[in-house]
Structure 1
């Protein structure tokens, strides 16, 4: 591509009827149908100088993040061109920053209540959590990530397990075979917080949310890594009726259990560099899995011990020495084991291993947030940053819900940046006729059909998109 042969004579910022993010029209309409403003007004008691309007300010923060804002100053994206004609009261960045800094810990918990109810309402408006008639298992993934910060004015910032100075964000996602991950719960913690801190409560909140949706009654599998392997976590989940699949630490009990596995019990699996043999209908692979009955937490009294299965994956140790020498006389292995309470008749050894490895999907959610609103934690006040995380989660779920309403396969599981580029950050010219606003969108927009489907789904009483 190159510039046209017709020279560009001038460039002026002087058009009052243009908007850069016309996709916010159906997006905010969807948020309104899910009751975001009403939930904010009902549950938030944040004091302000000029009346609360907590719901409107919360909606403004979510809208700005959906349009690409990752700092307080970026909220100015809501105040350009004809945005004031299309949207009511787009607040200034300074007003939204002041609003966030007035949050206390109690207000953060109120915002958590808003986020969970907002997710439930979004699920009712579309297929964010799949269709009600589906019966597959629901996957709950729990993991934390360090959000890097700079400067010494950030409350709670410190060096955590990753060696990066920042704050610790703990997330729980809900996903299934028929729907992409949505974030069901979130907590912001100080950077030095251990991974399992508050995880059992977060998992219980997630299970309670699932019971309030059409997912109630379906099997729930909670997946996590070894940092979350604790009696309090596993006991809370199993008592709530969920199954667990959690990586275990290689302690003495686990090593003894692995050593007791018979050599004939190992089965090759589909893994890196695996080849499928059509004749034998098996995988030719260097990775193998096996399982053994296992009772977790045997150091506690018998009533608190939890029976289940220990599933082990072994991979050849491929770490040759830098110097030449005699080759090893026997194969050495690296082991990865996890504890699960899933019955064998629901998932055999191979299926359980595949399901557990899919826990890595939550890493995509972490990366998605960090490439969007969570690229920064903009305030020096810890509770303001905690509220910012909640708004980022609501913006993530809102854009995901909008993508599902397009019914476009390429958008349903797309990242937030892709959804924003195709559905939200689309320019439009505003025209007024008969006291109505009309949006004139670019001709031959590649994703016109998806955008039109979304518009018609959330604004059925308005003039249809043409």
Structure 2
């Protein structure tokens, strides 16, 4: 491709008041309105003690931030992307970045909890209005994990040098919901200081995530999946109180090591993965492993009787290629294995339970999907609670985009956030006004015209009668 005119024959001017750069914001924010986002914010977020009027019109400010995040803003200044061309004609109540920054800095811990309540109810409404979690009435997986976000500046509240030497981080904790046929959505998030332990606050977050899953329509079997840092009595107890199953990786402590070495050789079952998976210790791709089960393993045996849990211990073992096997005259004599156990009470057969537990890595896709592009790429404020609010608003935006994709087509239901923005949101348009009606004139031959038109028509149809 090359420019078809000589440089002297091309000029540019930012002078058209009838253009908008993200016409896809119209159907996306219409979907947010139909699912009650402004109403939920007005009901639950009460910044009564905020200075300089920061708490006034909270619903307009939250929807402005969410709209900016949908368009790709990853900082407070980037929220100015909403203030161009004909955007004030198409949308009302757009706030300036300075106003939105003041609003975020007015948040306290209590206000952040109010925003969590909005997020929870909003996810339930999205699930009710769109095919966001197909099959959730039969089986749903709730995944928990933590991540570390690098931050810059000495004035960042809560930022500390933790696991990574010389790198200052904050340490968010998040939980997602998915089904065997859907991409994950975010159930809940928590902002924590950089040196917070991985499992700090996990039992409470697990309880909230399981309750949120129920509100989102997950009325069938719910299975919590987590890594070894969440293998503790509090997390397991939270699952049992909520009537959910658990599937949690556990490290090779002396008790588990003794149980694993007691497994007879004939008990191991061979499993072949359809696609090679990375080994969690070495990163090498593996496609074959062996799996065995101890049906009645009692965890937390050193704790009081009421906190002990008896369930299944499923162990996967793979060849340790980093350590040479002991060779005999006729070939390999003693192969060396690495063991990866997890503790579960879910009823699936051994190999199916192992496959489903390994799929816990899907939560990493959510983190990776937004870590380089989008609002999760940065935590923009020096105020801890402002960053906590920003994190929750990112989670709401992520779920809104996932619902948008689910409402559009089977392809977009599983597309990445960047693809959804490219295909459906970042579409330029020229507005025309006639007889008190606004018409959006979009590019001719837009490759995803039919998907966009289907989305636009769906969200502008009258709501279905209950």
Are 1:405 and 2:407 an aligned pair?
yes
Q: Kindly state the Cα deviation for residue 367 of structure 1 after the two structures are TM-superposed.
A: 1.1
Q: Kindly state the Cα deviation for residue 5 of structure 1 after the two structures are TM-superposed.
A: 4.0
Matches of 1:171 and 1:441 in 2, distance apart?
38
Matches of 1:342 and 1:9 in 2, distance apart?
66
Q: Kindly state the Cα deviation for residue 297 of structure 1 after the two structures are TM-superposed.
A: 0.9
Matches of 1:108 and 1:315 in 2, distance apart?
44
1:292-317 Cα offsets, whole Å, 9 max, x none, are 12111111233321111111111111
Structure 2 stretches lacking a partner, 5+ long: 277-285
Matches of 1:398 and 1:308 in 2, distance apart?
37
Q: Give the alignment partner of residue 183 of structure 1, picking from 183, 186, 193.
A: 186
Counterpart in the other structure of 1:360: 361
Contact 1:72 1:378 in 2 (8 A): yes
Counterpart in the other structure of 2:382: 380
Contact 1:48 1:99 in 2 (8 A): no
Contact 1:369 1:392 in 2 (8 A): no
So what's the TM-score if we normalise by structure 2?
0.91
Q: Kindly state the Cα deviation for residue 238 of structure 1 after the two structures are TM-superposed.
A: 1.6
Provide the alpha-carbon RMSD of the alignment.
1.9
Matches of 1:129 and 1:199 in 2, distance apart?
24
Describe the SS at the equivalent of 1:342. Answer: coil
Counterpart in the other structure of 1:2: 2
Matches of 1:329 and 1:273 in 2, distance apart?
29
**What pairs up with 1:380-459 in 2 under 5 angstroms?**
380-406=382-408, 408-459=409-460
Q: Kindly state the Cα deviation for residue 328 of structure 1 after the two structures are TM-superposed.
A: 7.6
Q: Give the alignment partner of residue 310 of structure 2, picking from 285, 292, 307.
A: 307
Matches of 1:40 and 1:365 in 2, distance apart?
25
Describe the SS at the equivalent of 1:269. Answer: strand
Q: Kindly state the Cα deviation for residue 271 of structure 1 after the two structures are TM-superposed.
A: 3.2
Q: Kindly state the Cα deviation for residue 124 of structure 1 after the two structures are TM-superposed.
A: 1.2
Question: Relative to structure 2, which stretch is displaced further, 415-424 or 234-243?
Answer: 234-243
Matches of 1:417 and 1:225 in 2, distance apart?
27
Contact 2:139 2:218 in 1 (8 A): no
Counterpart in the other structure of 2:279: none
Change (3 A) 1:334 1:38: same
Matches of 1:110 and 1:27 in 2, distance apart?
23
Counterpart in the other structure of 1:277: none
1:370-425 Cα offsets, whole Å, 9 max, x none, are 1311111000000000000011001000011111110x222101111110111001
Contact 2:75 2:378 in 1 (8 A): yes
Structure 1 stretches lacking a partner, 5+ long: 275-283
Counterpart in the other structure of 2:162: 160
Counterpart in the other structure of 1:201: 204
Matches of 2:182 and 2:412 in 1, distance apart?
12
Are 1:74 and 2:78 an aligned pair?
yes
Counterpart in the other structure of 2:111: 107
Matches of 1:328 and 1:150 in 2, distance apart?
53
Describe the SS at the equivalent of 2:148. Answer: strand
Contact 1:182 1:400 in 2 (8 A): yes
1:272-307 Cα offsets, whole Å, 9 max, x none, are 888xxxxxxxxx964111111211111123332111
Describe the SS at the equivalent of 1:339. Answer: strand
1:62-86 Cα offsets, whole Å, 9 max, x none, are 1100100000010000001110110
Counterpart in the other structure of 1:292: 294
Describe the SS at the equivalent of 2:175. Answer: strand
Change (3 A) 1:195 1:153: same
Q: Give the alignment partner of residue 330 of structure 1, picking from 328, 334, 339.
A: 334
So what's the TM-score if we normalise by structure 1?
0.91
Matches of 1:267 and 1:366 in 2, distance apart?
33
Describe the SS at the equivalent of 1:184. Answer: strand
Are 1:170 and 2:164 an aligned pair?
no
Matches of 1:367 and 1:69 in 2, distance apart?
17
Contact 2:137 2:217 in 1 (8 A): no
Counterpart in the other structure of 1:18: 19
* Count, aligned residues: 442
Contact 1:17 1:82 in 2 (8 A): yes
Q: Kindly state the Cα deviation for residue 320 of structure 1 after the two structures are TM-superposed.
A: 5.3
